[in-house]
Amino acid sequence: MIRVIAATLALLLTSFSVSAQDTTGAIQQVLQEHSAAILKSSRMTIGPAIDAVADSGLEQAQAVLQAWSDKNMWVREADGLFFRATEAEGGYSLTDFDTGEVVGVFDKDALDQIKPNSGIRALIGTALVQFQLKDPDPLRRQEALTSISRAPDPALLKPLRNSIEMETDPTLRAQKLRQERLLTIGYDADSDARVQAMADMSGDLSVDVRAALNPLVATRRAVVQGDVPEGTNVARILTPGSDALPRVEAYDMLVAADLAQPRVTNAAMRAALEANIADGRVGGVSVQQLGSDAVRRAAYIALADAGTVPPFISEETVQETLDGFTFYDAYADPSRQITDAANDALNAIKLKVGLNQAADLTLDALSLASIYFLAAIGLAITFGVMGVINMAHGEFIMMGAYTGYVVQQIVPNHTLSIIVAIPLAFAVTFAAGVAMERLVIRWLYNRPLETLLATFGISIALQQLAKNIFGTQARPLTAPAWLDGALTLNDVVSISYIRIAIFFLALFFLAVFLFIMKRTRLGLETRAVTQNPRMAASMGINPGRVNMLTFGLGSGIAGVAGVAIGLFAKVTSEMGSDYIVQSFMTVVVGGVGNIWGTLAGATMIGFLQKGIEWGNPSNTLAAQTYMIIFIIIFIQFRPRGIIALKGRAAGD
């Protein structure tokens, strides 16, 4: 009876197993075929299982891979079937991969979770990319492209190409085409296709293009006795003793490859001689005679001839050994066609990068020139037109920057605060300039030394006053959000929006100054007083009033410059001293009393400083020194500046 029951149960179990296999879906059958590898979860053996699922062509493949990667795939111990599992009351709810239906809730003890490690998840992620590239959600497609760019793989080239035709988003299509070209360069089996891809990308300045090309022209240094083996893609033959391969380095290569005897260093020679001293002699030489390198070498050679120490390698021996070998650099890629195309593309990119670097340097120079012009335009009025050496000009810049800071403490909106700060900074520094002119400067006209000393004292006093009010720490002057970031033309050329805004602000004040000087009564009177103050006074013009307003105008513009400079530079009590020297140089080099000369001087100094910094990028202090030396020499040949002005400002 027991045997009958056992046979019946066995028959029922067999029938159940056959029935289960008959009813499993297509994706479940794929999983069952690779069940052993999936359960083992070894990175060394899991590849075929992942490929089988990914290449099955079944619509459920993506869901399986995603669940597998997310550690949501479980196996039911009773029958070995795989399901997607989610926590539920009483255990885990199992969902069939093929039908998408819930087959029930099972206790955790009846299930085993598939836990792929990071290496297996990386392989699954690569397999998932081909599905994500065709995902209806553009964000998923973008994520797939980002994943490919971060971890390019030869296996991704074919699915990437297949997804291009069905891509409807123009931006994503362009990205796919570009990424396909990069993968083709690195991994396509067709050499002609790789060469064409390099030609297509030779005008691209992006770093990832150079990153794809550089491995193709990477070289390894090798040495061989006799001629270079046939089939080697040689980059260049090296001559020992040249700059590319010093003799010492060449011989060390032979020693490292066990192709030559190592040389004996002086320290090793001394140690060998000391170890072989016997009865006050070594190598047939008395110890007292070992005072020179030649004697020690002779003693060592005697020991080497006797076989006591390693042989001595002379320079003649080194040369003879080197002459018997060929040293060369070989490309890692064996195809000459590929390396030639890669070098051509890199050379084309290098030329274009150089041109764009020149354009970027020009933009930087123009930006710096606009800053110097904005800082110096007020000084061009007070020093150039009035002949007043105002050493406190930098402090008016500082006052304008602190005015902007105070406004931002009251007006939290950064855009509105800057709009309020610019005219307010002008008003504050205009009033300060007028007060300074009335109280101090008016008594010191035509006395340049006293003016310099007085304004220098005022400069120190204003710095200390700022420290007492605002402290010694730098204060933030925050630019509006729309000025954040930079205008990027390509991977080489870019300029910050703040610098662009300062450039246009400098042009604006140039236009304002020209309008005032050419189209207003104040400008007419200022020009008259500049040319001949006595004649102007006889014509009913009040020189004192003109000087007061002119000094106030120059100080007010310095305050506006302070707001602009404070948006990217630190706002401290000493910030004005950072620009006073450049401001004076700008005015003197350009030509005192001439706004166009100031513009020319700012441009010249800006380009000169950036050019020197480009030639010596690691030492900005040296750049400042060289610039000052050049300007001193320039003034020796053109003491009145680039554009000289006749009249009182020129000393006539």
The mean pLDDT of the chain is 84
Query: What confidence score (pLDDT) does residue 20 get?
Result: 41
- Residues 64 and 144 placed together within one structural domain of the fold: no
168 Cβ neighbours under 8 A, 6+ residues apart: none
Domain count, the chain: 4
- Residues 258 and 170 placed together within one structural domain of the fold: no
- What letter represents residue 445's amino acid? Y
Residue 342 lies in a domain: no
- Residues 430 and 329 placed together within one structural domain of the fold: no
The tokens describing 447, both together, are 């006395």
Query: What confidence score (pLDDT) does residue 620 get?
Result: 63
More confident residue, 642 or 48: 48
Res. 603: pLDDT tops 50: yes
- Residues 72 and 190 placed together within one structural domain of the fold: no
Res. 55: pLDDT tops 50: yes
- 203-241 pLDDT, tens per residue? 888 888 888 899 999 999 999 988 888 889 999 999 998
Owner of token pair 């402090």: 395
Residue 339 lies in a domain: no
Query: What confidence score (pLDDT) does residue 75 get?
Result: 92
Residue 348 lies in a domain: no
DSSP 182-234: HHHHHH-S-HHHHHHHHHHHTT---HHHHHHHGGGG-EEEEEEESSPPTT--E
- Residues 81 and 150 placed together within one structural domain of the fold: no
Yes or no: say if 376 and 602 are a contact pair by the CB < 8 Å rule.
yes
Report d(CA 342, CA 340) in Å as an integer: 5
Report d(CA 465, CA 524) in Å as an integer: 37
Residue 126 lies in a domain: no
Report d(CA 181, CA 184) in Å as an integer: 5
- Residues 532 and 620 placed together within one structural domain of the fold: yes
**Which of 270, 303, 334 lies at the terminal end of a domain, its last residue?**
334
Residue 152 lies in a domain: yes
38 burial level (CB within 10 Å; 0-12, 13-18, 19+): buried
- Residues 231 and 287 placed together within one structural domain of the fold: yes
**Which of 121, 151, 183 lies at the terminal end of a domain, its last residue?**
121
Res. 269: pLDDT tops 60: yes
The fraction of the chain above a pLDDT of 90, given in percent, is 20
Query: What confidence score (pLDDT) does residue 237 get?
Result: 92
pLDDT band per the 50, 70, 90 thresholds, residue 396: very high
Q: What is the CATH number of the domain that holds 613?
A: 1.10.3470
DSSP 377-428: HHHIIIIIIT----TTHHHHHHHHHHHHHHHHHH---HHHHHHHHHHHHHHH
Report d(CA 7, CA 16) in Å as an integer: 14
Closest CA to 203 of 488, 495, 494, 492: 492
Mean pLDDT of 152-164: 85
- Residues 460 and 609 placed together within one structural domain of the fold: yes
- What letter represents residue 272's amino acid? A
Q: Measured over all CA atoms, what is the biggest interatomic distance in the chain, rounded to whole angstroms? A: 143
Res. 305: pLDDT tops 90: no
Residue 609 lies in a domain: yes
Query: What confidence score (pLDDT) does residue 275 get?
Result: 83
3-state helix, strand, coil in the chain (%, to 5): 65, 10, 25
Residue 87 lies in a domain: yes
- Residues 298 and 275 placed together within one structural domain of the fold: yes
pLDDT band per the 50, 70, 90 thresholds, residue 11: very low
Distances (CA, A) of 187 to 50, 134, 194, 526, 635: 21, 22, 8, 73, 61
Mean pLDDT of 6-17: 40
Query: What confidence score (pLDDT) does residue 341 get?
Result: 92
Res. 22: pLDDT tops 70: no
Query: What confidence score (pLDDT) does residue 14 get?
Result: 39
- 418-442 pLDDT, tens per residue? 999 999 999 999 999 999 989 998 8
Query: What confidence score (pLDDT) does residue 408 get?
Result: 92
Query: What confidence score (pLDDT) does residue 647 get?
Result: 46
Residue 127 lies in a domain: no
Distances (CA, A) of 225 to 93, 257, 325, 328, 495: 70, 11, 4, 11, 55
- Residues 233 and 190 placed together within one structural domain of the fold: no
Q: Does pTM top 0.85 for this prediction?
A: no
- 511-545 pLDDT, tens per residue? 888 888 888 888 888 878 777 778 888 888 888 88
**Which of 68, 86, 121 lies at the terminal end of a domain, its last residue?**
121
Res. 89: pLDDT tops 80: yes
Distances (CA, A) of 326 to 229, 257, 329, 334: 10, 13, 10, 19
- Domain holding 213, by residue range, is 133-217
Query: What confidence score (pLDDT) does residue 81 get?
Result: 92
Res. 12: pLDDT tops 60: no
- Residues 292 and 367 placed together within one structural domain of the fold: no
500 burial level (CB within 10 Å; 0-12, 13-18, 19+): middle
234 burial level (CB within 10 Å; 0-12, 13-18, 19+): middle
The tokens describing 574, both together, are 């000493």
- Residues 527 and 606 placed together within one structural domain of the fold: yes
